[in-house]
Amino acid sequence: MQIVILSRGAYLYSTQSLINACYRRGHRVRILDHMHCDLIIGPKWYVNHLGDEITQVDALIPRIGASVTREGAAVIRHFELMGACTTVRADALLRARDKLIALQLLAAQGLPVPRTWAIHSVDQLPFAVKALGGWPLIVKLIESTHGLGVIRVENMQMLRAIVESFRATAQPFLLQEYIEEAHGTDYRALVVGQQVVAAMRRQAALGEFRSNLHLGGTGHSVALKPEEKKLATRAAQILGTSVAGVDLVHSNRGPLIMEVNASPGLEGIEQVTQVDIAGAIIHWLEEQVRKKRHTSDNRAT
Ligand SMILES: Nc1ncnc2c1ncn2[C@@H]1O[C@H](COP(=O)(O)OP(=O)(O)O)[C@@H](O)[C@H]1O
Ligand SMILES: [Mg+2]
């Protein structure tokens, strides 16, 4: 297969791990920087990458950073329309990256998520605080990543100040109940296709409630319960992210889905669990490409 990895850094662990898995399984692989992909719409569709014409791609693995979600989605869509199979479709990336859309879609399908309010007026804050169970509560940027923009708020004065500054800088945010009983622990399930291929428990650093590894959290391999695996695969399926890092927290009313990451980092979880996740991703793409070829062969006959 001809595989393209969209990545801004060929040296990054996740990209390297995917490149090695491609070679191990006998595929050709190219790394394209999505911020250098010109999208050509015309009688001939192609992608111009720094002067190279890219026309034939069987499979795509987008690794898109949060600051360039829309630019990345445009490139993914172009490759999709050129016939490539992808680990995350453009629309799925946009859905997963917007925490409000993601929570709306998951909750509408009956999946358990933290109670969340998206409000516009500072006047409504007292009602929201009451409905969310009082202090502390969480304010979260709709497009936060690596835990940046996730704030635990202890009182109304602090909440007003944060909400006013987010509004002034036009950064959409959510208010969310604080899941105190999670004690800074969450569970990252790595979903590939319809399966959880690896999982880790992440514990926040001392004095921190956010369990992100980027913020000093530590990971440990863990076996998820069947119902947790089911929740994770269902969440990825609802958002349409075929490869996803689904985060769960344990609350007093059972497991809740915190978010679905569309470009999950592989470094921490591959090292902690010793699972060849990159290999599982390439294997899944091989199946998708095979199915697609089979369908188009049947149509042609
Ligand atoms: N409502 C909440 N209650 C308790 N902890 C939370 C809550 N929301 C987020 N956290 C903690 O903060 C971390 C980061 O939040 P998350 O919503 O995943 O944002 P990001 O996309 O920035 O990682 C979570 O992994 C979890 O440990
Ligand atoms: Mg997260």
246 lines ligand 1 (CB under 6 A): no
Q: Residue 294 is which amino acid?
A: H
pLDDT, one tens digit per residue, over 223-266 is 999 999 999 999 999 999 999 999 999 999 999 999 999 999 99
The Cα–Cα gap between 266 and 18 comes to 9
For residue range 75-121, what is the model confidence (pLDDT) as tens digits? Answer: 999 999 999 999 999 999 999 999 999 999 999 999 999 999 999 88
Residue 52: exposure state from Cβ atoms within 10 A (0-12, 13-18, ≥19): exposed
Q: Work out which ligand 1 atom sits closest to the CA atom of 184.
A: 27
Q: Does residue 211 have its Cβ closer than 6 Å to ligand 1?
A: yes
pLDDT band at 296 (very low <50, low <70, confident <90, very high): confident
Query: Phi and psi at residue 172, in whole multiples of 5°?
Result: -65, 145
Any ligand 1 atom below 6 A from CB of 259 = yes
Residue-range domains of the chain with CATH: 2-86 (3.40.50.20), 95-111+181-280 (3.30.470.20), 116-178 (3.30.1490.20)
The C-alpha atoms of residue 292 and residue 29 are separated, in whole angstroms, by 19
Cα distance between the two ends of the chain: 23
Cα–Cα dist 18/279, whole Å = 7
Cα–Cα nearest to 66, from 18, 32, 101, 98: 98
Distance 273 CA to ligand 2 centre (A): 19
pLDDT per position as a tens digit, 66-85? 999 999 999 999 999 999 99
State how beta strands 37-40 and 46-49 pair.
antiparallel
Ramachandran angles phi, psi of 2, nearest 5°: -100, 115
pTM: 0.96
CA 163 to chain centre: 25
Q: Is 178 in the pocket of ligand 1 (CB under 6 A)?
A: yes
